Chain A
């Protein structure tokens, strides 16, 4: 169906344009393969028995669709980890988006004396390497009694994703034309009203990007999950591969199963969320 539409379009353009379309189309397909292939092989490997990986090669077609891996993984702690991950990521994400939108508004739309140095401070926070914070944050978590609790992860997750989120959102808000806001202020909106009524809706594409990026980051985050939780009941998904990684060897097909299952909720979330990245939807929001 898409093909016929494309074809109709192509017929309307000149031969040179047609060639261009062809090149663009081929490049898009090429990238489709390059981007999708490793993922495809991850999923494919999850349907193999362990020995197949070595006997037939990693990139061979599975001998038969072997479902035991999925059974084993799902019978383990996977669902617990999944629920934990969902709770942590959603809570953190809401906090990140709200807090970063507030800050980004200040940095992009308000003019005051200390703005630049304070902004520089936020940028500096982006430069903090995660591993040095493990010990101090671990001790802090112990002290406030949150150790081995999934809610211990929310603080560090918000803190680590916040600087980058503020930074990105500030950039997006700077690109929102200034006159929109001025007219709102003339209409008698205060700064806070302007933020909620005008700026926030206009930033939705940026917020959607951030939402996607941050949730992917947190979904796969390993270091804090490792250090701040302990019991299997409090672990998140990235720790689920442990059970299949031994000291000198790893059960690769099982790990691929865990990782494929881990990616699935994110893919669904992306398919739903990426709608926000389509041109035009914000216009309605402004009018409304």
Chain B
């Protein structure tokens, strides 16, 4: 008897199992294939219990992701939001700081299933355009223009946040431009003056090399680090328009323009002459391998975003007195304006999800990230909020700010400016330039082919 019963039970269970599997699959397929309708926010879990009506005094919950994980910065944002909630008690904000790379993965998953948080950061440029095109982020123009709020910001920051004449994000965190940061002691020991021109820079490099010191410290596993040299060379040699034209496919722009070739050749010349530290393509900026060289005096300078000042403040404060800064020198005969900078006027830009039930409320929350107190706190933390007339205490940051305000042009980092596919290709090819595994012409051809392909 038992066997008969058992086989029957087994059969039943198999059927149950199959229906469970098929059921699960069927249910899932339903959700993912129908490209989630805009109104379908019932399962919008990151937002928690989101109420659709904001006006009638009910609690509104907003979800807010950011990537300022380090203690002071995380607290700064939490404080801002706390002030917002204190002033607007019908709001509740779930603030989730997360690590940069983790954030990118998590945001991709959330966007892919239309469950992005109400407020989240990005770096403007290509990805922001994709979000805007896909209708994932709200148009903030109306709110920004209200009572001239927008006038508070540096125009360059606003233009970074603008796409098709609409403002899609608020520049908040930091004005950061790439400059040469150098070890004063090493410069003094070798009798080196601050270079004004590329020839000066190369002469200094020769001197340093002869003294057994690597002129430039570079950790290029990270790729965007080496890209900074390339971007400046292109800008100084060909002017600010060369890249913009090539990227936007306007005015017959092309990635095979002479400036790109010359910049690539200059980099390879420097690599061949041994201006960079050994093994740079395998070193990681995030692990501090380039800074370790600078600290120890084994390398003299590094071309890096101005956030390096606050990085050094937290990881090696004793070194600050020994840290000097100068802008990327002019290139003799180059078309570019020597005042031009490469960098970002905002770093983190915050956008509001188009799915957000209370965009106006979320925008009000955003304004607290740059209220008087927040501006003060950011300055104290060694940052330059992207707003007009900010008062700085740190002289080195003042140098950065002066340089940025005087700059006739500012080029956003290529990898953030370009659509992600192009941006990544640029980083890869730039690393290959440094590694001497591709010639400048080959790199240009690859970039041009992809740009042409994407332009259709």
Contacts and interface: CB of A to CB of B under 8 A. Distances in A.
A and B touch in the complex (CB under 8 A): yes
Interface of A: 50-51, 53-55, 57, 134-136, 138-140, 142-143, 147-148, 222-223, 226-227, 230-232, 239, 241-252
A227 B96 contact: no
Contacts of B69: 242-247
Interface residues of B, number: 46
A242 B99 contact: yes
B113 A223 contact: no
Interface in B52-81: 67-71, 73-74
Dominant SS at the B interface?
helix
B106 interface: yes
Given A249-B286, A249-B314, A54 B307 contact: no
Dominant SS at the A interface?
helix
Contact of A230 (B96, B100, B113, B285): B96
Contact of A252 (B106, B115, B287, B317): B287
B455 interface: no
Interface string B7-38: 00000000000000000100110011000000
Contacts of B71: 243
A251 B288 CA distance: 10
A234 to B, nearest CB: 11
Given A226-B102, A227-B109, A51 B70 contact: no
Contacts of A135: 109, 112-113
B251 interface: no
A230 B46 contact: yes
A141 to B, nearest CB: 9
B128 to A, nearest CB: 17
Given A136-B28, A227-B106, A230-B46, A251 B314 contact: yes
B291 A54 contact: yes
A249 to B, nearest CB: 4
Nearest to B45: A147
A242 B65 CA distance: 13
B97 A143 contact: no
A249 B106 contact: no
A233 B71 CA distance: 18
A246 B348 CA distance: 13
Given A243-B71, A250-B286, A250-B288, A51 B315 contact: yes
A247 B100 contact: yes
Interface string B318-360: 1100000000000000000000000000000000000000000
